[in-house]
């Protein structure tokens, strides 16, 4: 049976939800699943915007068959060639052999790399920036969005209904529970954390390119945002565009403190908990504590994109940084985390060294500084050190308030 919804009188969501996949890109846990969105425009000509992941083949083609209702498919617009969206191109051509593929020159390069398809030139349309394609009443305009999130990415603006098909931009993790519009759910409660985790980990590295796309989008009159993952936006678009603007400028969403600790036997953890208690007692409300060993790094990255201040606490290991903490710092660098204030708590039973090493990795992050002095422990934070921990807390708090 088909599982489609109209997003306007003549445009349908024909995507699929995946609640079986454990790891998106075989890296990121998706406990709430993920949607692979595809859209079908029915006009004098019919046009499908993107396909879905290979595992969604059966429901996807049921949806297309239902919406086409015996009509032929004229165009496939390929906005993005990552396999979570392109995997069914070859199957689509087998089922609709007359379809014309629309993409840019890099799209076709990647089609050749991924598939053994030999389409006649008459079934290919290579588009460039601001090229257009008429479907009848609907007119598609194409805008290149390189590195949001791959080099071939483009977005498609439909002029008559003012819809931006935005590829990975404005996507989120999380399957759509029948409610395909953001205004049908409590987005802040149910999806914002997954949206940020998706953004920070998938597109986070490419802030400058997202900013370039936001500039292009600002010149368009957009009434609806249709991403390749997560809900469609038809109300309050500025709210979510604002989030993307903040994230892509690497500005924190909230002034507050996230404490990320690694602890072998609970002593560093104890110091981190004591600090959290002190900060909460002093009125810091945007406050979170994570165990780096038991929290997936994608969640930690998401929280690092959210908070203005990050306290890292870790033991020394092999004369350097405890491995899970080193991995987190490596990801922060890879994803371009910038503009944050850090504070450090280190531990080491005979030669605490990890603070110095963490500091040097933080100095490699753009516009990130470390609040001095760090809080250094030998084995455990004894009650006799409460004065020093209080001073450390005061320095963090003063920086948040500033
Ligand atoms: Fe959802 Fe970059 O693919």
pLDDT-derived band at 142 (thresholds 50, 70, 90) equals: very high
Question: Measured from the CA of 228, which atom of ligand 1 is nearest?
Answer: 1
**Residues 6+ positions from 147 with CB-CB distance below 8 Å:** 153, 206, 209
* HEC sequence for 92-115: HHHHCCCCEEEECHHHHHHHHHHC
Question: What is the atom index within ligand 1 of the atom nearest the CA of 150?
Answer: 2
In this predicted model, what pLDDT tens digit does every residue of 170-198 receive, in sequence order? 999 999 999 999 999 999 999 999 999 99
| Confidence grade of residue 267 (pLDDT, cut at 50, 70, 90) | very high
Ligand 1 centroid, distance to 348 Cα (angstroms):
42
Closest Cα to residue 107, out of 79, 84, 88, 133? 79
Query: What is residue 220's predicted lDDT score, i.e. its pLDDT?
Result: 98
Instruction: For ligand 1, say whether the CB of 152 is within 6 Å of any of its atoms.
Output: no
Q: Is 80 in the pocket of ligand 1 (CB under 6 A)?
A: yes
Write out pLDDT tens, residues 291-331. Answer: 999 999 999 999 999 999 999 999 999 999 999 999 999 99
Q: Distance, CA 149 to ligand 1 centroid (Å)?
A: 7
**What is the tens place of the pLDDT at every residue in 342-389?**
999 999 999 999 999 999 999 999 999 999 999 999 999 999 999 999
Q: Give 158 Cα–ligand 1 centroid separation in angstroms.
A: 21
Residue 85, ligand 1, Cβ within 6 A: yes
Centroid of ligand 1 to alpha carbon of 253 (angstroms): 24
Ligand 1 site, residue 228, Cβ cutoff 6 A: yes
Instruction: For the chain, list the domains and their CATH numbers.
Output: 5-248 (3.60.15.10), 258-396 (3.40.50.360)
Q: Looking at ligand 1, which residue's alpha carbon is closest to its atom 3?
A: 82
Q: Report pLDDT for 224.
A: 98
CA dist 274 and 211 (Å) reads: 39
pLDDT band for position 256 (cuts 50, 70, 90):
very high
Q: Ligand 1 in contact with 50 (CB < 6 A)?
A: no
Please, which pLDDT band fits residue 90 given cuts at 50, 70 and 90?
very high
Mean pLDDT of all residues in 56-75: 98
The finding on whether 149 has its CB within 6 A of some atom of ligand 1 is yes
pLDDT value at residue 317:
97
Ligand 1: distance of its center to the CA of 235 in Å?
24
Cα–ligand 1 centroid distance for 7 (angstroms)? 21
Q: Which atom of ligand 1 is nearest to the CA of 36?
A: 1
- Bridge partners (DSSP) of residue 124 are 101
Cβ(195)–Cβ(46) under 8 Å? no
> Is ligand 1 within 6 A of the CB of residue 168?
yes
Residue 155: CB within 6 Å of ligand 1? no
**Does residue 18 line the site of ligand 1, with CB under 6 A?**
no
Specify the 3-state DSSP secondary structure of 181.
strand
Q: What is the mean pLDDT of residues 83-96?
A: 97
φ, ψ of residue 118 to 5 degrees: the values are: -120, 95
% of the chain surpassing 70 pLDDT: 100
Q: Which pLDDT band holds residue 400 (cuts at 50, 70, 90)?
A: very high
Share of the chain above pLDDT 90, in %: 99
From the CA of 202, give the closest atom in ligand 1.
2
- Indicate the average pLDDT of the chain: 97
28's enclosing H/E stretch is strand 28-29
pTM of structure:
0.96
Closest ligand 1 atom to residue 168 Cα is 1
């Amino acid at each position: 049976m088909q599982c489609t919804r109209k997003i306007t009188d003549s445009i349908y969501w024909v995507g699929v939800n995946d609640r079986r996949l454990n790891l998106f890109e075989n890296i990121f846990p998706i406990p709430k699943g993920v949607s692979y969105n595809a859209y079908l425009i029915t006009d004098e000509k019919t046009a499908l915007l993107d396909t879905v992941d290979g595992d969604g083949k059966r429901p996807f083609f049921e949806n297309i068959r239902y919406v086409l209702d015996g009509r032929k498919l004229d165009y496939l617009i390929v906005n993005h060639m990552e396999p979570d969206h392109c995997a069914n191109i070859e199957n689509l051509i087998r089922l609709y052999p007359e379809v014309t593929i629309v993409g840019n020159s890099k799209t076709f390069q990647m089609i050749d790399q991924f598939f053994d398809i030999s389409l006649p030139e008459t079934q290919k349309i290579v588009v460039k920036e601001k090229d257009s394609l008429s479907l009848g009443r609907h007119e598609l305009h194409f805008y290149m969005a390189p590195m949001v999130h791959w080099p071939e990415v483009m977005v498609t603006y439909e002029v008559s209904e003012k819809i931006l098909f935005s590829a990975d931009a404005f996507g989120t993790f999380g399957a759509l529970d029948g409610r395909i519009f953001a205004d049908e759910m409590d987005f802040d409660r149910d999806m914002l954390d997954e949206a940020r985790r998706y953004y920070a980990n998938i597109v986070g590295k490419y802030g400058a390119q997202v900013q370039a796309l936001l500039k292009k989008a600002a010149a368009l009159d957009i009434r609806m945002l249709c991403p390749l993952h997560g809900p469609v936006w038809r109300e309050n678009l500025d709210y979510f565009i604002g989030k993307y603007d903040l994230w892509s400028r690497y500005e924190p969403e909230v002034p507050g403190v996230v404490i990320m600790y690694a602890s072998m036997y609970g002593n560093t953890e104890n110091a981190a908990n004591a600090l959290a208690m002190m900060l909460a007692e002093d009125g810091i409300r945007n406050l979170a504590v994570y165990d780096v060993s038991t929290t997936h790094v994608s969640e930690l990255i998401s929280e690092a994109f959210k908070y203005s201040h990050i306290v890292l606490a870790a033991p020394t290991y092999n004369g350097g940084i405890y491995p899970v903490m080193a991995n987190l710092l490596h990801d922060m660098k890879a994803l371009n985390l910038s503009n944050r204030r850090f504070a450090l708590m280190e531990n080491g039973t005979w030669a605490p060294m990890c603070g110095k090493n963490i500091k040097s990795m933080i100095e490699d992050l753009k516009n990130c500084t470390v609040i001095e002095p760090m809080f250094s422990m030998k084995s455990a934070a004894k009650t006799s050190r409460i004065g020093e921990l209080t001073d450390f807390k005061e320095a963090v708090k003063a920086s948040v308030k500033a």
